[in-house]
Chain A
């Protein structure tokens, strides 16, 4: 009797150890998830220079044809589902903005904001209390505070304010305090000052990070939507260089004295016209 019971217990224990494939699945083994090396203080190491592969998101984040000075085009765009859930008034404004490229803020040397800045090369540095992301364009930067500190109040900025934490190997960044002036692309896609972006940086191999973001702006869109594209590690000899904007003489002429055909205080004048 004793042996029988013991036998049962042993067998049951042994059976418990045998992995049972879920019904319906093949027994093919899955590749283990990538485990990146660590920094000295134990964070997954995302340091280095990264070159985003966005297929022309700077021109449009939606699927778009290539063309004269419009890049090679993109069949998918970088927006999940290929469409934006714009509120009707916002869809109309977006269309109107495409006719006013002189208002594009990057043409006036403003910072691109998040997510726009992420379409171009940047370098990540990690310290125990913050992660610094230095962009080549416009020498923009943001410091992602990892110490649990809150977003500041009473502060709006082009690059917003970033606070982050780790979820396993994924860096999750919460971006708020965005002003309403940066844009998503050159196809009229804009946002308000309640824009809230949650980014996820997930390393998938030693030279690739999958970047995705949830964009939430209840003043402009009917619901949150997602954007994603991969980041590729830049070649060893690629060095980020100084990328000024005002320094180009010709542009400085335009910017300081105002483009001849554009009102000097663009935003105010456009609002005045609307009120007429």
Chain B
């Protein structure tokens, strides 16, 4: 009797062990592992491949606290005071660059390109670009740039971009969330699936905030066949008012697209 009991226990133990070590995929219907454990395909030089055209789908461009941890921005009282007494016109209304991280969540797609030693961000908005070297070179000293100075490096599956030298005049959104020239942003881009990247940015500014705070959002791949970035510029329109023409043709195959020939004859040009 003891021998059979022992065998029974052994059998139960073996089955339990098998169940414990079996992957969730086998336990459920076949489902790919998504989230931070997703392993992205690699570029020829062995880096996680972030390439493609990506978009954000949130309201951060209106108010960045929508995507902030805790949905609040930890202002220093004197900084909030300064902000409320400061300029009231959004710099992008005068065609200035949106700064970082705002450039990421402007409602326009952007394209990521990777070459050995570089990750290049090509934004549709204002044709903006960030040519980021992934060799941890030291930051530039002594000048302020509207998109800052970005230095990149890889940490496992994540591209980490350290941004300093940000011009103090940019806003974080159109709700007039401002910062000082001490702003320091650390971005993290991690593929979480075939068509998603998790984007996080830690925002630090000892002259404006009581502590660093974090925003995060998914970036969604644009999967429309034949989709390409088009030219987007900001310029002065009638009455000197800035306008943002975006020349986007009809999607491929759309009846409108097929009926018009290039060059387009414009009877009422200019």
Contact = CB atoms under 8 A, between A and B. Distances in A.
A180 B249 CA distance: 18
B113 A127 contact: yes
B94 A246 contact: yes
Contacts of A139: 126-129
Given A111-B233, A247-B97, A256 B145 contact: no
A143 interface: yes
Contacts of A158: 231, 233
Interface string A186-222: 0000000110000000000000000000000000000
Interface stretch (B7-15, B31-39, B114-122, B213-221): B114-122
Nearest to B51: A127
A97 interface: no
Contacts of B269: 180, 193
A271 B250 CA distance: 30
Interface residues of A, number: 49
B238 A125 contact: no
A159 to B, nearest CB: 6
Interface in A118-144: 123, 125-127, 132, 134, 138-141, 143
B120 A134 contact: yes
Nearest to A149: B226
A110 B235 contact: yes
A123 B127 CA distance: 15
A216 B146 CA distance: 38
A127 B94 contact: no
Q: Summarize B's interface: helix, strand, loop or mixed.
A: loop
Contacts of B249: 152-155
Interface string B77-118: 000000000000000001111000000000000010101001
B247 A156 contact: yes
Given A127-B113, A139-B126, A152-B249, A257 B240 contact: yes
Contacts of B113: 125, 127, 132
Contact of A268 (B95, B229, B258, B270): B270
B236 A258 contact: yes
A242 B263 CA distance: 33
B262 A153 contact: yes
A71 interface: no
A157 B94 contact: no
Given A125-B120, A247-B97, A242 B126 contact: no
B242 interface: yes
Contacts of A110: 233, 235
Nearest to A140: B127
Interface of B: 44, 51, 94-97, 111, 113, 115, 118, 120, 122, 126-129, 131, 145-147, 167, 226, 228-231, 233-236, 238-242, 247-250, 256-258, 260-264, 266, 269-270
13 contacts: A132-B122, A134-B122, A139-B126, A141-B127, A152-B262, A153-B257, A153-B261, A159-B127, A177-B263, A244-B146, A252-B94, A255-B94, A256-B240
